[in-house]
C-alpha cells in the first residue's frame, strides 16, 4: 500500500510517501511544498494544489493521510486534489499521530523524529542531518506511519 502523509501548513507543507507491506516500511520520497510568503492567499493555495497534483500523479497513492487541523485553509485544497484523483483521505488528530508513532499522545518533535528514524531507516536519518525544515517532512512521514499502523492494528511503536 502506498500512503501519502501530509503535514499541512500555508508557508511550508510537509509530505512523505511510504510503501507499507506487512511490518515493512519503505520511504519513497519526502519533502516540502513551500509558498511565497508575500504571495496572495489565492496564489499560495494554487501553488499547494499544483504541487499536490504533481505528487499524486507521480505516485498514485492508495490513501492520503493528513493531520487534522481546525485552521488550515490549505487542508481543503489538498483534500480536493485527492478527491479529484479518487484517492481515499484519512484524517488524524495530532495526539493520535503522536500516540501511534511514538507511543505517547503528548510526544514532542524530537520523540516523533526518533521514532520515524528507527522505523524508516537510513534514508530518513541521513536527511534529518542535512535538511532545513525537516520537522515538516518528518511530521508528514509520521502521519503516513500513523495510518499504516491504524490499518494494521496491534502494537505499533518499536
CATH number of 2-152: 3.30.420.10
pLDDT digits (tens, 9 = 90+) for 15-52: 999 999 987 899 999 999 999 989 998 999 999 999 99
For position 151, what pLDDT does the model report?
A: 92
pLDDT digits 0-9 by tens, 73-104? 788 899 999 999 999 999 999 999 999 999 99
Question: Between residues 9 and 148, which one has the greater pLDDT?
Answer: 148
- Grid cell in block for residue 135: 520537522
* Residue 41 burial by Cβ neighbours in a 10 Å radius (0-12, 13-18, 19+): exposed
Q: Is 46 annotated as a binding residue?
A: no
Can you say how many angstroms the Cα of residue 81 is from the centroid of all Cα atoms in its chain? 15
Specify the range with the lowest mean pLDDT, choosing from 2-6, 52-56, 108-112, 127-131.
127-131
Distance CA 28, CA 47 (A): 22
CB 2 within 8 A of CB 62: yes
- Residue-range domain boundaries for the chain: 2-152
d(CA 13, CA 32): 6
Pairing mode, strands 24-34 and 12-21: antiparallel
Q: If you average pLDDT over every residue of the chain, what do you get? A: 89
Has 135 been labeled as part of a binding site?
no
Question: Active-site residue numbers?
Answer: 7, 67
The helix/strand/coil state of 89 is strand
Alpha-carbon distance values, 42 to 4, 5, 30, 39, 71 (Å): 24, 23, 25, 8, 16
Yes or no: say if 32 and 7 are a contact pair by the CB < 8 Å rule.
no
Amino acid at each position: 500500500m502506498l500512503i501519502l502523509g501530509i503535514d499541512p501548513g500555508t508557508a511550508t507543507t510537509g509530505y512523505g510517501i511510504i510503501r507499507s507491506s506487512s511490518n515493512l516500511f519503505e520511504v519513497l520520497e519526502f519533502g516540502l511544498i513551500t509558498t511565497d510568503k508575500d504571495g496572495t492567499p489565492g496564489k499560495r493555495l494554487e501553488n499547494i494544489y499544483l504541487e499536490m497534483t504533481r505528487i499524486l500523479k507521480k505516485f498514485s497513492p492508495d490513501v492520503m493521510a493528513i493531520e487534522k487541523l481546525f485552521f488550515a485553509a490549505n487542508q481543503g485544497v489538498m483534500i480536493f486534489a485527492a478527491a479529484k484523483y479518487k484517492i481515499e483521505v484519512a484524517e488524524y488528530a495530532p495526539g493520535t499521530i503522536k500516540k501511534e508513532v511514538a507511543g505517547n499522545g503528548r510526544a514532542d518533535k524530537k520523540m516523533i523524529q526518533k521514532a520515524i528514524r528507527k522505523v524508516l531507516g537510513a534514508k530518513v536519518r541521513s536527511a534529518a542531518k542535512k535538511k532545513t525544515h525537516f520537522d515538516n517532512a518528518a511530521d508528514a512521514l509520521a502521519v503516513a506511519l500513523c495510518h499504516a499502523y491504524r490499518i494494521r492494528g496491534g502494537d505499533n511503536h518499536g
